[in-house]
């Protein structure tokens, strides 16, 4: 009887410990720094469709909804991926009532392009080659702040080895901007980092993505880390990376009600104080 | 009770499964060493480092602590549970199959002390297995791979969100912690195997049932269809033992999942005890 009583007490005390130390507490990103300055809103969104669709690039009929999301969230700069080309960008800009300037990267050997939109004027756009693809960047001056460089990029969906080379090129380009510039890298990087859920224990794919992500974190900070998954199947593959120290994170959110049609990604919205 | 413990321990040490478990773990370490060595040679070669501008798989990354970490991580969920289930599953059912359970039960030893002493011996064996495996990996790592700091990266092993490092001495302490947290997590399997050992006539059935239950939850927990059920599987809670290798140990979550594992262990043991006390032993 005594043994049973002791076991019951032990079992109940363990339950009490588990309840008392429940780690599912709400975490706030708002207190991540005392830095106050001009705020900058950044948004990245792969507006393409899920793979099983005939054309997995962005669909023109969805651009109105994309524009509505952008207008309602009012980001200062937007990175978009998987557009079909400059025609779609022009349609989107018209839906945005010309409040944004935009630019698309060359298609290269791909059938889809990345784009970047910046609110207001005075923006310098440029594209650069990363691995076999192109990324697009916008350089602009928010009021009372240093120059901001924003890169929109899309890494290979299928080969981790290519993603690693792509990331290396993008990071090297971004970190070599002039010293005073504040650089952000945004886009769909397709990293498969959640190895715990994989059936295998260790593969080159996991290692390549791990190295690519680690290289990004060597110079940048993953601003959307606590915002959760960004694509179907609970994958976090869309990121916005920013400088590790010079900006204070104010908001990180995945807008999960924004996708329309067969889109398989949600936009990631980040707000920082410069 | 002490006498009972001593007898049970002697029985365990003299059993074939005891030596088999240590031999199997040693063989695994040898295999791991061979795989790790050839992988490190290949991956730290000049060809790879010239192909990519950045790789952490350098000669400093591949050291004895990294070897021990990978070896322990790979074996923990699939290899060590087999031996724990085997030992615990044989405790009552083994006596029954050998025809000794009835005899033991008529001696002036209570069934409570019999079952608890058997469980304590299984717990000790589990700790011995984990500590031996960790110690052997560290020794092999030291002599064949070399010492260094333990570098951790996101993705691989899924331990950290950003690159981190544990200095050598701190990392060694973390392995000591892992021997305790790992044992605590494995006691859930030991308790389930003890319960099945009480329920079933044959130790083989008790062991296989335990492993089947464990593997079903482990596999289902990795299938996306059951993602919403994952938090309710004991296999998910058992994963807390790995947290000791994080640069900053998340103590709150560590205690939470450690508490859940403890509740499973003591709860299942209580159930096994209740059933065993009332069970009619006919064999």
Compare CB distances from A168 to B54, B57, B222 and report the shortest one's residue: B54
Task: Check whether B149 has a pLDDT greater than 80.
Answer: yes
Residue in B53, B267, B30, B1 with CA at minimum distance from that of residue B139: B30
Compare CB distances from B266 to A11, A172, A192 and report the shortest one's residue: A11
Contact assignment for A193 to B154 by CB distance below 8 Å: yes
Using an 8 Å Cβ cutoff, are A239 and A266 in contact? no
pLDDT of residue A53: 61
Q: Which residues are bridge partners to A270 per DSSP?
A: A42, A252
Q: How far apart are CA A115 and CA A152, in angstroms?
A: 7
Residue owning tokens 């709150």: B252
Residue A52 has what DSSP assignment?
T
Task: Check whether A184 has a pLDDT greater than 90.
Answer: yes
The residue among A5, A159, A160, A201 with the most chain B CBs within 10 A of its CB, best to mutate, is A201
Beta strands, E only, chain B = 150-152, 164-166
Q: Which residues does B contribute to its contact with A (CB < 8 Å)?
A: 52-57, 70, 73-74, 112-113, 116, 153-158, 161-163, 222, 224, 227, 239, 250, 252-253, 255-263, 265-267, 269-270, 273-274
Q: Which residues contact A33 (CB under 8 A, 6 or more apart)?
A: A248, A249, A273
Which of residues A178 and B129 earns the better pLDDT score? B129
pLDDT of residue A256: 92
Mean of per-residue pLDDT scores for chain B: 88
Confidence of residue A241 (pLDDT cuts 50, 70, 90): very high
**Pairing mode of beta strands A182-188, A148-154:** parallel
Task: Check whether A160 has a pLDDT greater than 90.
Answer: no
Q: What percent of chain B has pLDDT over 70?
A: 93
Residue in B170, B83, B176 with CA at minimum distance from that of residue B137: B176
| Residue ranges covered by each domain of chain B | 2-278
Q: Which element (helix H / strand E) includes B25?
A: helix B16-43
Other Cβ atoms less than 10 A from the Cβ of B185: the count is 29
Please give the torsion angle defined by the CA atoms of residues B25, B30, B32 and B33, in that order, rounded to the nearest 10 degrees: 140
Residue in B80, B46, B85 with CA at minimum distance from that of residue B192: B85
pLDDT of residue B13: 87
Task: Check whether B202 has a pLDDT greater than 60.
Answer: yes
Compare CB distances from B156 to A206, A218, A222 and report the shortest one's residue: A206
Q: How much is the average pLDDT of A40-56? A: 87
Q: How much is the average pLDDT of A128-136? A: 90
pLDDT tens-digit readout, B111-127: 888 999 999 999 999 99
Residue in B219, B184, B197 with CA at minimum distance from that of residue B85: B197
Residue in A207, A227, A212, A199 with CA at minimum distance from that of residue A172: A212
Q: Which of A33-37, B112-116, B182-186, B214-218 has the lowest mean pLDDT?
A: A33-37
Task: Check whether B153 has a pLDDT greater than 50.
Answer: yes
Q: 215-234 in A: which are within 8 Å (CB) of B?
A: 215, 217-218, 222, 225, 233-234
Task: Check whether A143 has a pLDDT greater than 90.
Answer: no
Distance from CA of B63 to the nearest CA of A (A): 17
Please report how many Cα atoms fall inside a 13 Å half-sphere around the Cα of residue B6, on the Cβ side. Answer: 3
Using an 8 Å Cβ cutoff, are A52 and A85 in contact? no
pLDDT tens-digit readout, A192-227: 887 555 555 666 778 888 889 989 998 999 999 889
Confidence of residue A31 (pLDDT cuts 50, 70, 90): very low
Q: How far apart are the first and last CA of chain A?
A: 66
Task: Give the strand order in the sheet containing A39-46.
Answer: A100-104, A113-119, A77-83, A39-46, A268-273, A248-254
Return the SS3 of B231: helix
Using an 8 Å Cβ cutoff, are A246 and A145 in contact? no
pLDDT of residue B249: 92
Contact assignment for A7 to B266 by CB distance below 8 Å: yes
pLDDT tens-digit readout, A102-118: 999 998 878 899 999 99
Distance from CA of A168 to the nearest CA of B (A): 7
pLDDT of residue A179: 73
Q: Which residues contact A84 (CB under 8 A, 6 or more apart)?
A: A57, A58, A60, A111, A112, A113
Residue owning tokens 């335990």: B210
Q: Which CATH architecture has domain A40-273?
A: 4-Layer Sandwich (3.60)
**This prediction's pTM:** 0.76
| Residue ranges covered by each domain of chain A | 40-273
Query: Which of the given ranges, A120-124, A199-203, B60-64, B153-157, has the highest pLDDT on average?
Result: A120-124
Residue in A196, A188, A221 with CA at minimum distance from that of residue A45: A188
pLDDT of residue A34: 47
Q: Which of A114-118, B42-46, B251-255 has the lowest mean pLDDT?
A: B42-46
- Burial of residue B68 (CB within 10 Å: 0-12, 13-18, 19+) is buried
Q: How far apart are CA B92 and CA B115, in angstroms?
A: 8
Using an 8 Å Cβ cutoff, are B207 and B85 in contact? yes
Q: How far apart are CA A90 and CA A105, in angstroms?
A: 14
String of DSSP letters for A74-89:
--SEEEEEEE-SHHHH
Compare CB distances from A4 to B155, B224, B273 and report the shortest one's residue: B273
Q: How far apart are CA B83 and CA B104, in angstroms?
A: 25
pLDDT of residue A32: 46
The interface pTM score, or ipTM, of the predicted complex is: 0.79
Using an 8 Å Cβ cutoff, are B138 and B64 in contact? yes
Mean of per-residue pLDDT scores for chain A: 87
pLDDT of residue B48: 55
């Amino acid at each position: 009887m005594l043994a049973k009583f002791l076991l019951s007490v032990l079992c109940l005390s363990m339950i009490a410990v588990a309840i008392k130390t429940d780690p599912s507490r709400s975490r706030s990103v708002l207190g991540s720094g005392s830095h106050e300055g001009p705020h900058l809103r950044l948004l990245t969104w792969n507006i393409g469709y899920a793979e099983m669709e005939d054309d997995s690039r962005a669909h023109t009929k969805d651009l109105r909804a994309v524009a509505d999301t952008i207008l309602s969230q009012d980001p200062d700069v937007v990175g978009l991926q998987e557009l079909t080309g400059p025609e779609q960008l022009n349609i989107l800009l018209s839906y945005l009532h010309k409040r944004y300037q935009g630019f698309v990267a060359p298609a290269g050997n791909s059938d889809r392009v990345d784009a970047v939109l910046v609110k207001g004027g005075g923006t310098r756009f440029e594209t650069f080659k990363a691995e076999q693809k192109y990324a697009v960047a916008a350089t602009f001056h928010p009021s009372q702040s240093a120059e901001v460089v924003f890169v929109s990029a899309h890494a290979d969906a299928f080969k981790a080895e290519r993603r690693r080379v792509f990331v290396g090129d993008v990071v090297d380009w971004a970190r070599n901007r002039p010293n005073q510039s504040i650089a952000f890298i945004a886009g769909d990087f397709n990293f498969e980092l959640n190895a715990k859920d994989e059936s295998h224990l260790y593969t080159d794919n996991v290692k390549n993505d791990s190295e690519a992500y680690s290289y990004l974190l060597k110079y940048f900070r993953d601003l959307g880390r606590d915002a959760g998954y960004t694509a179907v199947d609970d994958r976090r593959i869309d990121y916005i990376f920013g400088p590790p120290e010079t900006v204070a994170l104010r908001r990180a959110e995945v807008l999960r009600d924004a996708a329309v049609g067969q889109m398989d990604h949600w936009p990631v919205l980040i707000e920082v104080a410069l | 009770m002490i006498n009972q413990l001593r007898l049970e321990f002697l029985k365990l040490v003299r059993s074939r499964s005891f030596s088999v478990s240590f031999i199997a773990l040693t063989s695994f370490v040898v295999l791991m060493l061979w795989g790790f060595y050839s992988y490190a040679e290949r991956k730290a070669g000049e060809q790879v480092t010239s192909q990519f501008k950045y790789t952490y798989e350098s000669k400093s990354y591949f050291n004895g602590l990294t070897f021990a970490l990978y070896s322990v991580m790979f074996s923990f969920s699939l290899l060590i549970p087999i031996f724990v289930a085997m030992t615990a599953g044989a405790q009552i059912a083994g006596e029954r199959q050998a025809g000794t359970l009835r005899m033991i039960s008529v001696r002036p030893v209570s069934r409570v002390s019999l079952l608890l002493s058997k469980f304590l011996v299984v717990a000790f064996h589990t700790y011995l297995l984990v500590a031996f495996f960790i110690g052997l990996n560290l020794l092999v790592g030291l002599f064949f791979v070399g010492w260094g700091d333990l570098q951790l990266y996101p993705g691989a092993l899924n331990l950290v969100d950003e690159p981190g490092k544990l200095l050598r001495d701190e990392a060694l302490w973390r392995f000591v912690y892992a021997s305790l947290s790992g044992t605590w997590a494995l006691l859930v399997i030991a308790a389930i195997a003890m319960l099945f050992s009480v329920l079933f006539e044959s130790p083989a059935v008790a062991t296989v049932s335990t492993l089947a239950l464990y593997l079903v939850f482990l596999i289902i927990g990795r299938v996306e269809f059951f993602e919403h059920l994952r938090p309710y599987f004991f296999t998910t809670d058992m994963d807390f033992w790995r947290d000791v290798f994080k640069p900053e140990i998340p103590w709150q979550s560590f205690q939470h999942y450690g508490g859940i594992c403890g509740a499973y262990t003591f709860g299942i043991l209580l159930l096994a005890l209740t059933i065993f006390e009332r069970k009619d032993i006919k064999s």
